[in-house]
Amino acid sequence: MNPRLVIAIDGHSSTGKGTFAVEIARRLGILYLDSGALYRTVTLYALQHGQIEWNGTIQERQLQEDLLLGRVEIAVRPKSDGSMLVFLDGHDVSARIRELEVARNVSAIATLPFVRNFVDGQLHRLGKEGCVMDGRDIGTAVFPDADLKIFMTADASIRAARRVKQMEEAGKHADFEEILKNVQERDYIDSHRAMNPLRQAEDALVLDNSHMTVEDQMVWLDGILRERFGFGLS
């Protein structure tokens, strides 16, 4: 099945939006688009071109010019497991955009209005034939007329604990208090930027997954799809 459905998933950081969206894409056979990955890719471009100084200052004019003149070539390709690969100037940067240097600078890049316009335009172009897309402003700015909008949230301390577990599983040191602070800071930045801040669309369904497994979330969504569209997840 390949329903031409646009499913918009927004919410706080580390709520498992990506995991949830990839699983939906896999089960419905639709395209998954990770909007955060596009912000990360623009950040990587800026880093590679010396447009972010050591102290975090961004050379905005140069970056804006490159985006406007089409010098930043971003492409995506779906993987069979439902996830997505992202390419910058023809190179697969899916792993590089997860590195710390990108993570440190992406929030500042994502607050720039010309970056948001660029990314929103790309997302609209890539997703208009049907997709499940996750981010912060999908249901409010990118696809305000999405067929289904979901707003994900979970207690900050539960999100921090999940990240600690992920890092420990990857063999990295993780300090709970530090990560909790980072989760709270990201919530603040995402919700307080001037352009397209994170907020719940009026017609979004809230999914608080503090005490839900991924499978619980699939059961929840399956019920909603059946009720609204007459088909389920499998």
Binding site for ligand DC (CB under 6 A): 13, 35-36, 39-40, 106-107, 110, 135-138, 190
DSSP 152: E
Q: Which is nearer to ligand DC, 29 or 144 (CB)?
A: 144
3-state secondary structure (DSSP) of residue 97:
helix
Q: Which is nearer to ligand DC, 206 or 219 (CB)?
A: 206
In the complex, what is the shortest distance from the CB of residue 175 to ligand DC, in angstroms, rounded to a whole number?
Answer: 19
For residues 115 and 107, the answer to whether their CB atoms sit within 8 Å is no
For residues 224 and 148, the answer to whether their CB atoms sit within 8 Å is yes
In the complex, what is the shortest distance from the CB of residue 234 to ligand DC, in angstroms, rounded to a whole number?
Answer: 27
In the complex, what is the shortest distance from the CB of residue 64 to ligand DC, in angstroms, rounded to a whole number?
Answer: 17
Q: How far is CA 199 from CA 36, 110, 153, 155, in A?
A: 16, 15, 11, 16
Q: Which is nearer to ligand DC, 110 or 225 (CB)?
A: 110
In the complex, what is the shortest distance from the CB of residue 70 to ligand DC, in angstroms, rounded to a whole number?
Answer: 21
Q: Which is nearer to ligand DC, 140 or 217 (CB)?
A: 140
Q: Please state whether 99 falls in left (phi above 0), alpha (psi between -120 and 50) or beta.
A: beta
